[in-house]
Structure 1
Amino acid sequence: MYKILFLTFDWNYNIANEYNSGIQKFVQDHTDTNVYVFNGMGKYNKVEAEIRNFEIFNVPALEQYDGVALQGNVSWPIEKRQMIANQCHERGIPCVSINYPLQNCTYIGTDNYEAMAKMVTHLILIHGSRRPYFITGLAKSQEAIDRRRAFTDVCARYGIHKYRIFEGDWNVQSGASAAESILQEDHLPDALVCSNDDEAIGAMDVLKKHGIQIPQDILVTGFDNRDIGIAYVPRLTTVSRDYATILYTGMDALYRMFHGEKMNESIYSPAEMKYEGTCGCCREKNDDRQFKQMYYDMDNSFKKYFMLQNYLHEDMAKSASIEDLMSAFEKHLDAMQLNTAYLMIDKQYLFRYDSEDDNYHYSHSAVMMASNHPDRGEPEKRNHFYDSISTSEVIPARFEKQGGMLYLIYPVKSTESCIGWLVSEGICTADQYNTIQMILLLLATDIEIVRKSAILKHMNMQLGNLYLTDQLTGLYNRFGMEHYGKSFFEQCMSAHQHSWICFIDIDDMKAINDRFGHELGDTALKDAAGIIKEAVKEIKAFAMRYGGDEFLIISEESVKDRIRSALIRYHENEKRMYYLGLSVGEYKVHHDFESLNACIERADENMYEMKKKKKEAASRKHL
C-alpha cells in the first residue's frame, strides 16, 4: 500500500472541497493508495491568530509516507512550506506543490500568467479596451504577482499606457474599496480586471449601487470561477481552474514517481476561459437550476446542523468532566453528517487538563475518546479511552484501511492549546458545507469550558488546602480541625464506639531555637510533622499542628507505638545538629458523651505526665 500525505491550509472551503473531490476520485482509481489530508483550516492573511492550526502539520511523520503534497496561501508562510519540501528532498520522498512553486518539488497547478494574459488579450482584441484598470491580489502571493505581471505585459504589448493598478487582497472589501476610488475619477475605465472573483463582486456591487451598468458602461472580469460569480447577474467573466483535476494530477504525478517516472518541474492543468455577461460575451439569462438544487441541499444540511447543534450543546453543557463530554459528543456523531469518524485527544493535553499550563504543541501520543465505527468496542469506564496510539499513527491501526481510502484530518484546538484532531473517512456533507468547522469550534469551546471548570475546582482545592493546612508542616491547622477533625472524631465514635486522641510535644523546643536559631527550629517542626505522617500513613487518622510545637492526632487505633517506631527510624536515617525528642500523651475515648475538647485535655495531661517523667529520669541520671 502507498501512503500520500497532503498538507493544506486554505481559507476557501469551496476550493478545499474541490481538492478533496479530486483526491476522492484518485483513491477510487488507485485502490492500492491511501491519502491523508491534514487541513489547517486557516483564514486568509491571518497568521498569528492561526498559529495553533499549523501544529496539526507536526502530527504526521514524513518518513511514514511515500509521497507528499503541499498547498497553502500566504497565511502558511512560504518558508515553512519550503522547509517541508527540503526535508522530503533530503529523505528522497517525492513532493509536489499545488498552485505555488517551491524548490525541490514539482509544481502542479494553473499557469496564472498565461491565463490572465489570455483574459486581458480578450478584452483588448475582442472588446476594444484601451483604458483597463487592474485590482491586484495580496502583494506577497506568487499567484497575485504572476497575474499582475501578465496584465502589465499585455498592456505594453498592445501599446496601452493609460491603465491604473489598485492594491487588493483577494476579498470583497478590497474590490469595493477600489471601485469607490475609481468613482472619484473624472472618467471611468472601459474595463476592470480583478485578480479573483471576490474582488470583482465587491467592485460590481459598488458600481451598480452608483448606477453604473455592467457591461454597458464598464467590462468586469474575475479569476477562479467561484459560485459567487456564477450566480451573479450578469454572470461573471472569469477563469475556471478546475481544482479537482489539479489535485488528481498532483496525486497521479506522485504515484508515477513511486514507479520511477521522472516529472517536469511544472505540470500545468489547463485553465478554461469563461467569457460571460460581465464582459458582454454572453447575454443569455443565467440557468439557475444548478443553484436552486445547491440552495435546497445547503438549506437542508444547515437545518440538520442547527438541530444537531442545539442537542449537542445541551448534552455537552451538562458534562462535568471531559469523559462525560466525550460520551455526549460520541452520542451525536452519526447525526453530524460525517462518515465514519475518530476523535483523537492529545495525551499531554489530558495530563495537563486541570493545570493552567496550555498545551502549545502536540505530544508523542494520543488516545481515541470517541468514534462511530461499528467495531469500536466499549471505552474504559473511568476515562472513556478506547485506543492509545503514537501521534504519528493518526488513527488506531485496527481501523486503517489498506488502500483506496481518503482520510480527512482536522485540528481540534483552542487559541492557546492543541487538544487533538478529528479523522473522517472520505468526503461528507459536514465537510461540503463547512459545518465541520463549526462542530469542531463548538467541541473545542465546550472542552475548554469543562477544563477551566476543572482548573477552577483544582485552584479552589489548593486554596482550601492553604486555608485548612499549616504552611510549614503540611498538616491540618485549627481551621482544618473545624472542617475535618471534628467530623472524623464523630465518625469514629459512631462506627467503633471509641477513638484515640494523641497529643505530641517537641522536647526542649526553646533550647533548639535559642542555640541553633529559628531556621533550624522550623526544620525540627517539619521533621516532627514528617514523623507523625509516617506513623499514621497506613491507618485512618486526622493529624494537625495544634499550635507552636504541639501536634494532635485523632485516630481509630493507638498510634503511640507507631510514633515511637517512626522516631527511631528518623534517628537512624537523619543526622541533625540538634536532638529531636517527642513527648506523647494518648487517651482512649470510650464514651460518646465526652466532648472532643475534654478528650484533648486528657491527652494533653497524659503528654505532660510523660514529659515530667522524662525530666525526672534525666535528673536522676545526672545525680
Structure 2
Amino acid sequence: MGEEAENMACKNIAVLMTGLDANVQAETLRGIEDYGKACGYNIAVFVWFTGAYEREKHNVGECNIANLPDLNLFDGVLVFANTLHVSDNRIIVEKLIEKLDCPVVCIGCKIGDNYSVQTDCYYAMKKLVEHFIVEHNMDRIHFVRGVEGNADAEARYKGYKDALAEHNIPFDIERVTQGDFYVTGGRKAVEEILSSDLEFPQAIVCANDIMALTVSDLLTTKGYRVPEDVAVSGYDDTEEGKYHIPSLTTVRSRIYDLGRTACTILIDVVDGKEREKEVLLTDEIVLGESCGCNRGDKLFVDQVNRLKHSEDVAQRTKIHQLIMLEKDIIEGQDYDSWSQSIKSFIESINPEEFYCCVNDNFIDNVFGSDAMIHDSTETEDLLPYTDNVQSIIVYKNGSFKRGTTFESKYGLAELFKETKTPKTYLFTPLHYLDRTFGYFVFVDDVFVRNSSIFIYWLINMGHTLENVRRNTLLRNVTKHLDELYIRDSLTGAYNRFGMERFFADIKKKCLMSRLNMQLSFIDLDNLKKINDQFGHEEGDRVISQAAKILMASTTKFSVVRYGGDEFIVMGNIKTEKEVEDYWKRVNKEVEAYNASGKGRAELSLTMGYKIFEVGPDTSLEECINEADSIMYEKKKAKKNRR
C-alpha cells in the first residue's frame, strides 16, 4: 500500500494577493508556503499586480483573477488585506470573502470580523522618527505617506505625528506628502520638497522602502548627498534597500512570520481549534547608512556591485528572451505561431510546471476568421471567465503535454487530484485592460516571485494578444469589405469584379500546372414568365435558389452571377469528367428542389460549357462568348422540343 498511501488528495488553501513583485509580499508568501505545505496543503495563489497610478480598466482586468475560483471549494482563504490599495479592488475582495463558508485570515489589516495577523506599524514608525529627533538632533522631518486609507499607511503616519508631539515639535502639513507606496509617491515628494518655500528638511521619512529609495536616488541626481545633506529612511527592510548605496535605514517587519502565523491560525481553525481573532507582531528598526549611523566599507560596496552586475546579466538575458517572444508573436499573427512562441519561451525558463488556460471562446475571438469589430465592448461582457476553460499549453517534467477542458471554478483541475506532495500554484491573469483572455499557472516556480520582469512579461502577453486580435479584426473587416465588392448582394455568388479576379487565378494555374479551364454559361429559363405570373419576389427567390444549387454542388469552381438571369461557372480541371459530374449533381439538386414543392415556380436551367486550353493571350470575353453560343443552341433545341 506504499504508493497508494502516499498518493493522497491534498487539502487546498487559496491566497488572494497583489504585488508579488515586492520582497515583502514574496517573503510573507514564503512563510505561508513553508507551514502550509508541511501540513499537507496545496497553496493556490491568485495574484494580480495593480497600483493606484494605473488605468482603471487595467486594474479591473488584473483583479478579476480573484473571481476565477469558487473559493468555497477550498479549505480556507488567506487575504493580503494590506496590499489592496485600489479601493475598487478592495471592494471586490471584500464582497468575495463576506459570503464564504470556509475560514478566512486577513494579513496586514482586518476585513470585517475575519481573523487577522498584523504588525505593529505604529510603534515601530514612532520609534524610527524618535531616532532622528533624539540621536540625530533633527526637527525638520518630512514625511511621505502611503496610500490614504490603508491601515499600515495610517498607522505609520500616526506614529510620525505622535513622535513629533511627544518631543514638542510642531506638526506642519506642508512637510507631509501624500504618497502611494510606489515610485510615483517618492517622485512626488521630491518635487514638493524642491519647490517648497520651507527650509530644506534634515530628514525624509517614507512609509515604505520603494518611496525612500526613489527619494534617495532622485535627490542624488539633483546633487544632494544622502545622508550628508539629508537623511532618508523607509519601511519594510527590502533587499533593494539593503544593497542600495547608501544602505537604507528602515524597519524590518517580521514578514516571514506574518505569513507563517496567518497560515498556522487558518489551519488550526480548519482543524477545529480555538484561535484569537487578532494577532499583532512587533517590528524592528534597522539602522543603515542613509540616516548617518553606519558607514559601509569598500569591500562590501564591491561585493554589492558584483552582485548587482550578476543580476543585471541575468535580467538582460530574460529581457532579450521577452523581446524575441514579442517579435515572434507579432510576426506570427495566427494561433499556431502564437502557441509555438509561448512554448519556446517556456522551454527557455523551464518551470517545474506551467499551464496556459484560456476562455473557451479564446481562439475564435482572437484568431478566428469570424471575429468582427461589432463584438461587445462592455466590461460585463469582456471581463468574466467562461464557465469552462481550456488548458491549451501544458508543460510538465520538461516537456509539453496534452491539455484538457475543465470548469473554471476549479482554477486548475490538478489542484483537486491526488498527489504525492503539496505544491504552490500561482495563478496570474492574461488580459488586456478589461478584456479577459484567460490566465497562466506556474507551479513551484521562482520566475514569478519578486520580479519586475515577470510583470513586464504578463503585461506584454496581454498587449501582444490584443494586437493580434485587432489585426485579426482588421483582416476580417478588410475581407468582408472585399467580399461586398466582389459578391452579388442577392445571391452571394461572385459578380463581374469577382469573375475578373478569379479568371486571373485560373489562368495562372493553367499556365503553371498544365491544367485546362472549363467555363459553363447558364441561363435561368422562363424568368420573365415567373415574374409576370408570380411577381418579382418569387423571381428573386428562384434566382437565389439557382445560385445556391450551383454553389453547393462544387468546392473547386467559382460561381458568377453574370446578368439578371445568367450565371457563369468556371475553374481549373484535369479531365472533362469533372465537369460532367458537376452538372449531374446540379441537375439532381434541381429535380429534388422541384419535387419538394418549396417554390411556386419551377426551376429550370439551360447550360453550355466548353473546355479551354489557356494560353498567355486567352481572352475571358472570347471564352464567355463561345460558351454562351453553346448554351444558346441548347436553349433553342429545348424550345423546339416543347
Q: Tell me the TM-score range normalised by the shorter chain.
A: 0.7 to 0.9
- Aligned residue for 1:372, secondary structure, equals strand
Taking a change above 3 Å as real, the CA distance of residues 393 and 603 of structure 1, as seen in their structure-2 partners, is farther
Equivalent in 405, 409, 413 of residue 392 of structure 1: 409
In the TM superposition, residue 6 of structure 1 has moved relative to its aligned partner by: 1.0
Equivalent in 242, 251, 256 of residue 230 of structure 1: 242
**1:328 maps to which residue?**
341
**2:41 maps to which residue?**
33
Letter aligned with residue 392 of structure 1: K
Aligned counterparts of 2:309 and 2:224: Cα–Cα separation in 1: 33
Aligned counterparts of 2:129 and 2:539: Cα–Cα separation in 1: 89
Contact 1:8 1:70 (C-alpha < 8 Å) held by counterparts = yes
- Aligned residue for 1:236, secondary structure, equals coil
Contact 1:137 1:196 (C-alpha < 8 Å) held by counterparts = yes
Aligned counterparts of 2:397 and 2:133: Cα–Cα separation in 1: 61
Equivalent in 602, 605, 613 of residue 632 of structure 2: 605
Taking a change above 3 Å as real, the CA distance of residues 436 and 209 of structure 1, as seen in their structure-2 partners, is closer
Q: Are 2:129 and 1:120 equivalent residues in the alignment?
A: yes
Overall identity of the aligned pairs, in %? 21
Equivalent in 87, 93, 96 of residue 99 of structure 2: 87
In the TM superposition, residue 311 of structure 1 has moved relative to its aligned partner by: 5.2
Aligned counterparts of 1:433 and 1:74: Cα–Cα separation in 2: 20
The alignment's TM-score, normalised by the length of structure 1, stands at 0.82
In the TM superposition, residue 83 of structure 1 has moved relative to its aligned partner by: 0.6
Deviations 1:187-225 (A, max 9, x none): 455554332234334445566677776656665432222
Contact 2:231 2:290 (C-alpha < 8 Å) held by counterparts = yes
Matched pairs, number: 598
**2:84 maps to which residue?**
73
In the TM superposition, residue 102 of structure 1 has moved relative to its aligned partner by: 0.9
Aligned counterparts of 1:450 and 1:33: Cα–Cα separation in 2: 39
Equivalent in 519, 544, 549 of residue 526 of structure 1: 544
Contact 1:130 1:162 (C-alpha < 8 Å) held by counterparts = no
Q: Are 2:469 and 1:479 equivalent residues in the alignment?
A: no
- Aligned residue for 1:557, secondary structure, equals helix
CA RMSD of aligned residues (A): 3.9
Equivalent in 550, 557, 560 of residue 566 of structure 2: 550
**2:5 maps to which residue?**
none
Letter aligned with residue 29 of structure 1: A
Contact 2:27 2:256 (C-alpha < 8 Å) held by counterparts = yes
Letter aligned with residue 42 of structure 1: T
Deviations 1:145-177 (A, max 9, x none): 222233333434454434444232133202312
In the TM superposition, residue 103 of structure 1 has moved relative to its aligned partner by: 0.8
Q: Are 2:257 and 1:248 equivalent residues in the alignment?
A: no
Contact 1:583 1:607 (C-alpha < 8 Å) held by counterparts = no
Contact 1:10 1:44 (C-alpha < 8 Å) held by counterparts = no
**2:190 maps to which residue?**
176
- Aligned residue for 1:134, secondary structure, equals strand
- Aligned residue for 2:77, secondary structure, equals strand
Aligned counterparts of 2:612 and 2:567: Cα–Cα separation in 1: 23
Contact 2:120 2:280 (C-alpha < 8 Å) held by counterparts = yes
Deviations 1:317-354 (A, max 9, x none): 55352223322332342322633322223321112123
- Aligned residue for 1:475, secondary structure, equals coil
In the TM superposition, residue 418 of structure 1 has moved relative to its aligned partner by: 2.4
**1:459 maps to which residue?**
477
Aligned counterparts of 1:58 and 1:204: Cα–Cα separation in 2: 39
Deviations 1:35-85 (A, max 9, x none): 011221223432333322122222222122111122233226321121112
Q: Are 2:456 and 1:438 equivalent residues in the alignment?
A: yes
Taking a change above 3 Å as real, the CA distance of residues 424 and 491 of structure 1, as seen in their structure-2 partners, is closer
Contact 2:119 2:281 (C-alpha < 8 Å) held by counterparts = yes
Aligned counterparts of 1:592 and 1:204: Cα–Cα separation in 2: 82
Aligned counterparts of 1:11 and 1:38: Cα–Cα separation in 2: 10
- Aligned residue for 2:356, secondary structure, equals strand
In the TM superposition, residue 20 of structure 1 has moved relative to its aligned partner by: 3.4
Taking a change above 3 Å as real, the CA distance of residues 532 and 232 of structure 1, as seen in their structure-2 partners, is closer
Equivalent in 149, 162, 177 of residue 167 of structure 1: 177
In the TM superposition, residue 464 of structure 1 has moved relative to its aligned partner by: 3.4
Equivalent in 363, 382, 407 of residue 425 of structure 2: 407
Greater shift after overlay, 486-495 or 2-11? Answer: 486-495
Contact 1:544 1:551 (C-alpha < 8 Å) held by counterparts = yes
Aligned counterparts of 2:126 and 2:211: Cα–Cα separation in 1: 18
In the TM superposition, residue 492 of structure 1 has moved relative to its aligned partner by: 10
Equivalent in 488, 512, 520 of residue 501 of structure 1: 520
Contact 2:61 2:433 (C-alpha < 8 Å) held by counterparts = yes
Equivalent in 299, 324, 327 of residue 312 of structure 2: 299
Contact 1:59 1:394 (C-alpha < 8 Å) held by counterparts = yes
**1:20 maps to which residue?**
29
**2:605 maps to which residue?**
584
**1:426 maps to which residue?**
444
Aligned counterparts of 2:163 and 2:93: Cα–Cα separation in 1: 32
Aligned counterparts of 1:389 and 1:460: Cα–Cα separation in 2: 36
Contact 2:356 2:391 (C-alpha < 8 Å) held by counterparts = yes
Aligned counterparts of 1:25 and 1:66: Cα–Cα separation in 2: 17
Letter aligned with residue 481 of structure 2: L
Taking a change above 3 Å as real, the CA distance of residues 360 and 378 of structure 1, as seen in their structure-2 partners, is same
Aligned counterparts of 2:480 and 2:191: Cα–Cα separation in 1: 55
In the TM superposition, residue 297 of structure 1 has moved relative to its aligned partner by: 4.2
Consecutive unaligned residues of structure 2, counting only runs of 5 or more, are: 1-9, 571-577
Aligned counterparts of 1:328 and 1:205: Cα–Cα separation in 2: 38
In the TM superposition, residue 12 of structure 1 has moved relative to its aligned partner by: 4.7
Greater shift after overlay, 351-360 or 51-60? Answer: 351-360
Deviations 1:395-414 (A, max 9, x none): 45398745421112222233
Letter aligned with residue 418 of structure 1: T
Taking a change above 3 Å as real, the CA distance of residues 135 and 65 of structure 1, as seen in their structure-2 partners, is same
**1:382 maps to which residue?**
none
Taking a change above 3 Å as real, the CA distance of residues 590 and 198 of structure 1, as seen in their structure-2 partners, is closer
Letter aligned with residue 254 of structure 2: D
Letter aligned with residue 73 of structure 1: L
1:195-274 equivalences under 5 Å are 195-204=207-216, 220-274=232-286
Deviations 1:572-608 (A, max 9, x none): 65666xx434442233547758963244213431464
- Aligned residue for 1:547, secondary structure, equals coil
The alignment's TM-score, normalised by the length of structure 2, stands at 0.80
- Aligned residue for 2:430, secondary structure, equals strand
Letter aligned with residue 369 of structure 1: I
Q: Are 2:381 and 1:364 equivalent residues in the alignment?
A: no
- Aligned residue for 2:251, secondary structure, equals strand
In the TM superposition, residue 16 of structure 1 has moved relative to its aligned partner by: 3.4
Contact 1:506 1:582 (C-alpha < 8 Å) held by counterparts = yes
- Aligned residue for 1:7, secondary structure, equals strand
**1:144 maps to which residue?**
153
In the TM superposition, residue 316 of structure 1 has moved relative to its aligned partner by: 4.6
Taking a change above 3 Å as real, the CA distance of residues 517 and 113 of structure 1, as seen in their structure-2 partners, is farther
Taking a change above 3 Å as real, the CA distance of residues 320 and 201 of structure 1, as seen in their structure-2 partners, is closer
In the TM superposition, residue 121 of structure 1 has moved relative to its aligned partner by: 4.0
In the TM superposition, residue 97 of structure 1 has moved relative to its aligned partner by: 1.9
Q: Are 2:367 and 1:346 equivalent residues in the alignment?
A: no
**2:3 maps to which residue?**
none
Deviations 1:86-139 (A, max 9, x none): 122xxx111122223211322223222232233334444555555544332232
Letter aligned with residue 332 of structure 2: S
Deviations 1:509-556 (A, max 9, x none): 3762x677655654443344335445x26x754432121122334572
Taking a change above 3 Å as real, the CA distance of residues 254 and 574 of structure 1, as seen in their structure-2 partners, is farther
Letter aligned with residue 321 of structure 1: D
- Aligned residue for 1:431, secondary structure, equals coil
Taking a change above 3 Å as real, the CA distance of residues 552 and 38 of structure 1, as seen in their structure-2 partners, is same
Aligned counterparts of 1:128 and 1:507: Cα–Cα separation in 2: 108
Contact 1:23 1:406 (C-alpha < 8 Å) held by counterparts = no
Aligned counterparts of 1:468 and 1:196: Cα–Cα separation in 2: 64
In the TM superposition, residue 447 of structure 1 has moved relative to its aligned partner by: 3.9
